[in-house]
Amino acid sequence: MSDKITKSPQIRFAGFADAWEQHKLGNITERVARKNKNLDSTLPLTISAQFGLVDQETFFNKVVASKDVSGYYLIKKGEFAYNKSYSKDYPWGAVKRLEKYDMGVLSTLYITFTPTNVNSDFLVHYYDTNGWHKEVALRAAEGARNHGLLNITASDFFDTVLSIPVSKEEQKKIGIFFKQLDETITLHQRKLELLKDTKKSLLQKMFPKDGANVPEIRFVGFTDAWEQRELGELAPLRGGFAFKSDEFKEDGIPIVRISNILRSGEVGGDFTYYPEQEKDDNYLLPNRSVVLAMSGATTGKVSILCNPDGGKVYQNQRVGYFTKTDIADYGFVSTITRSQMFIKQLSAVLVAGAQPNISSKDIDTMTFYVPTNLEEQTKIGILFEKLDDLFTLHQRQLNLLKDLKKSLLQQMFI
């Protein structure tokens, strides 16, 4: 029996018009509290994590459960668990369904249950929304968090109220829709991982290994040995300008500051602006500039400025810019400065402390083996630039899909 009738969601599948009903979780699910007794010791030990119920050895790279797990809950494929652990992304914990294994064992700190009168896929994606958080907060004991755990009893958790469609068919359609959307998101994530692995492998094989002066894989027609060069010969690092913070504006010329050098490898985030200066050649950044964070939390991070419109962009102090020269292809420079070869040398010169930093001299004196033939450099640079563009394309598609899911979760659930 429903507790009360509620309004309908903003977006619905055609053919469904009935208002959704509110139900207590305990009325549409059944608590699972079976203990793990006399079972095969090879049963996967699982933990509840934000991305699902996964084998703890996979998650922690070790077994963290006690040796005797006979008192743990035994959960089966398709059953749910509520993890009360607090995290930044999941301040009220996470509810996930066991999908990877047929069975697993779980600490009795978790609340486990199975659907009885609600579509399982619908329930999975209901718990992807944020609506249930306030229900948990309402029923949690005062002083909710205790050592990182949300202090809610199982009985209070099963008293939380959910809004669900009256029609089982509508529940099913919503569940299938979001399941397919998740599969599409996972496909794009796998493509991204494949691209990362491909780039990593090519960097290892298309650049000489330690003690060698020729790479394992080369473009056809190039046979000369590579030669060692200092990075300062190829692309000397230029420092930025000390703009006055009290003259920052909300419009004008954007300034690339350390905070704009993102861990994603892009230049972005919130920009500040400055009035256009008459003589600004010494701190202008062209499109596809390779820039380096020289201090702060992202010290050593290299990113690419994407500015295809060609508008002016200024370079702030403690932001390094790898300048162009006639003896090196800039795409090749972009590749080596974002490789493990660069990171390895960077770690040897990085000045640690409360405010880590590096100097232009440290960067300019780094050495790399490079092709003597500029055409070979160019071919390598173009190859990795295309890989990066492909990666960016997939990343944007993935972000769009995630944003789409977030929006639809808000509009297709109550």
Q: Does residue 194 form part of some domain?
A: yes
Q: What pLDDT is recorded for position 211?
A: 86
Q: How many domains does the chain have?
A: 3
Alpha helices (runs of H) in 95-205, residue ranges in sequence order: 120-126, 131-139, 154-158, 168-205
pTM assigned to the model: 0.81
Torsion of CA 153, 158, 159, 161, to 10 degrees: 130
Amino acid at 381: G
* pLDDT at 117 exceeding the cut of 90: yes
pLDDT at 409: 96
| pLDDT 10s digits, 159-172 | 999 999 999 999 99
Q: Note whether 279 and 382 are same-domain residues.
A: no
What share of the chain in percent tops pLDDT 70? 91
CB 39 within 8 A of CB 75: no
How is residue 15 written in tokens?
């053919």
- According to the model, what pLDDT value does residue 1 have? 43
Per the domain annotation, does 133 fall within a domain? yes
Asked if 401 and 185 touch (Cβ cutoff 8 Å), the reply is yes
Cα–Cα distance between 167 and 169 in angstroms, integer? 5
Has residue 10 been placed in a domain?
no
Output the pLDDT for position 7: 80
Is the pLDDT at 83 greater than 90, yes or no?
Answer: no
Gyration radius from the chain CA atoms: 28
Q: What number is the average pLDDT over the span 377-400?
A: 94
CATH of the domain at 384: 1.10.287.1120
Nearest of 333, 159, 133 to residue 233 by alpha carbon: 333
Residues 246 and 208 in one domain: no
State the chain's mean pLDDT as an integer. 89
Pair 116, 56 in one domain? yes
Residues 349 and 381 in one domain: no
Q: Are residues 302 and 395 in the same domain?
A: no
6-10, 24-28, 201-205: lowest mean pLDDT where?
A: 6-10
How far is residue 340's CA from residue 55's CA, in Å, rounded to a whole number?
30
Instruction: Write down the pLDDT at residue 143.
Output: 47
Q: How far apart are CA 318 and CA 294, in angstroms?
A: 5
Residue 191, pLDDT score: 93
282 occurs within a structural domain:
yes
- Predicted confidence at residue 40, as pLDDT, reads 55
Residue 375: pLDDT band (50, 70, 90) is very high
> Which CATH number fits the domain that encloses residue 111?
3.90.220.20
In this prediction, residues 59-71 reach a mean pLDDT of 76
